[in-house]
Structure 1
């Protein structure tokens, strides 16, 4: 949203907070985001909204100024929040979006449901086909938005529909084909928030499903730094090849910058081994991209989302120049 000259950042946040005063969820200013991310880095949100449920979310989006920047965060497992924090309003879905309903041939799951929890519910209900979710860190909303996949399957394979709230507060239900899934992407409308989804599955022996999940867990434990502060796969696999192989061949396994490091165990994972900043992690990633490109001619694409301001905004008490907050 554009703020008039001679107004302060505090004044626009007060205005938005007044507009959203009737909501049932929580709204906080200057809310820390770093502790919520898997990397444990990043600055605050100007405003952080945690809506109570889908109706509360729709009401909020209808009431917000249409030019206010809005950022959606899920489990924060595959994101770097930059050190200066995030402009405008950040929306994070909580417990009101974590319901899981079992049906004879699938699950209806809230967007805040963790992928691993969904896989376990499916196993408990004797429903096969969602085991791959046990290998994906994050929540279902993010999984739909990016067509998350692992271990031979992805969201595009199992999704019947997703309920969304659009930036203007309207609601819609989109089928899998309408979402236009591709490799690690969808055509989710800009600014839309996934609130729940239906995932197809087929009846099977629960013991067989649990064994498949156990195998995936063991594979992750053996091949990935699952107990470290990381963000999952850093770069997308190029059309022909695997990102980790290119990174390894470029001599970047174990490469470090301050407390940011490329994992020795799986070199498509970055780690915060201590007190790395978001800038350290991003600079290390760009260094890896440059080395891989110099060696192979392939420029790796980031899979981790990098969002927010590189540095904190100017003192909120000083007049601004009409830029977005």
Structure 2
């Protein structure tokens, strides 16, 4: 593999044709041409410095809000794991590695009577991904609490403030081929009982309204500007329960797509596009994907290349 041949000598794990599907929340997708798990920030910066510009680079966190297409991902995929998960508690904040889970950071803050980070318990992902997409839930976003993020780039390690990152809705302006390595979040000392109760309230609300135990990718579409929520527009267009093959629009929360078991990435993505088409026809609004879709379609993608039996049909679940 050309990408593998051009890598510098790394201390972390390097794997060719590495399966990725099982690591995603949807449980779908093809392999990475090359998967790199850097040993630490210095190992990561060596990779970024020496990786040729023409070799694609993709960064994976928890892969909780992502569709990896069935043909896999070209070039090098970086996944931060051991060495990037430390959490340090300070008097008025938390410093967390990029691989630390959002929920773990929220729970750690609560255990030390630090408030203001409870919303992270409602975000299924890692700190690196949360910073990179300005993740938010339950009335707060990363931009509201971030002091700084350390970011590995091909030219070295940068410390960027929230202002430097120019946060917008589900967006941060990271430098080209940059990878978040850790971040500091402001928190306020408070009553541990009150903070823990807020965590439990968010968990309960999430369990009641979202298909948290299903194979899903979280919120599929961004809420458009204005009063209407994405799920309301999807419901209005009659898409609740809509299915394509083994992919389905959740009946519990219709801004979630589900893999009912055996769905392909192509089916999930095509179902999402069908939802966009129906919402546009019903409301005139173009929904924008919040889920990141990466990689190549399979060579014989059944959604794009109908065989003798044609593509799976779209319809409501019985």
SS at match of 2:233: helix
1:196 aligns with 2:186: no
Q: Is this contact kept in 1: 2:3–2:76, CA < 8 A?
A: no
Partner of 2:316: none
CA offset at residue 20 of structure 1?
2.7
What is the TM-score normalised by the length of structure 2? Answer: 0.92
The alpha carbon displacement at 1:60 in A equals: 1.3
2:193 alignment counterpart? 207
Kindly indicate whether residue 170 of structure 2 is the aligned counterpart of residue 180 of structure 1: no
Selected match of 1:225 from 197, 201, 211: 211
Tell me the SS of whatever aligns to 1:268. coil
Q: Which residue number corresponds to residue 20 of structure 1? A: 8
Normalised to the residue count of structure 1, the TM-score between the two structures is 0.90
1:114 matched to 2:104? no
Aligned partner of 1:76 in structure 2 is 63
Cα distance between partner residues in 1 of 2:158 and 2:241 = 45
Match of 1:290 in 2: 277
Structure 1: runs of 5+ lacking an equivalent: 1-9, 314-325
Q: 1:46 aligns with which of 15, 18, 33?
A: 33
| CA–CA separation in structure 1 for the residues paired with 2:56 and 2:3 | 12
Deviation at 1:123, TM superposition (A): 0.3
Q: 1:226 offset after TM fit, Å? A: 0.3
Q: How does 1:239-254 map to 2 (within 5 A)?
A: 239-240=225-226, 241-254=228-241
The structure 1 residue matched to 2:220, chosen from 234, 242, 246, is: 234
Provide Cα deviations, 1:107-130, integer angstroms capped at 9, x if missing partner. Answer: 000001000000000001110000
Q: What residue is the counterpart of 1:319 in the other structure?
A: none
CA distance in 2, matches of 1:169, 1:264: 47
Structure-1 residue corresponding to 2:258: 271
Segments of 4+ moved more than 2 angstroms: none
Aligned residues: 299
Aligned match of 1:257: 244
1:172 is paired with a residue whose SS is strand
In 1, the alpha carbon distance for the partners of 2:82 and 2:224 equals 36
Deviations 1:85-140 (A, max 9, x none): 00000000002100000000000000010000000000011100000000001001
Number of the residue aligned with 2:89: 102
Residue pair 1:236, 1:303 contacting (<8 A) in 2 also: yes
1:153 aligns with 2:140: yes
Task: Tell me the distance in 2 between the aligned counterparts of 1:111 and 1:236.
Answer: 23
Structure 2 unaligned regions, length at least 5: 301-318
Over aligned residue pairs, what C-alpha RMSD do you find? 1.1
The whole-number CA distance in structure 2 between the counterparts of 1:159 and 1:224 is 27
| SS in structure 2 at match of 1:66 | coil
Equivalent residue in structure 2 for 1:35, among 22, 26, 43: 22
| Cα contact 1:292–1:299 (8 A) shared by 2 | yes
Match of 1:7 in 2: none
Cα offsets for 1:160-192 (capped at 9, x unmatched): 0000011x2421000000100011111111221
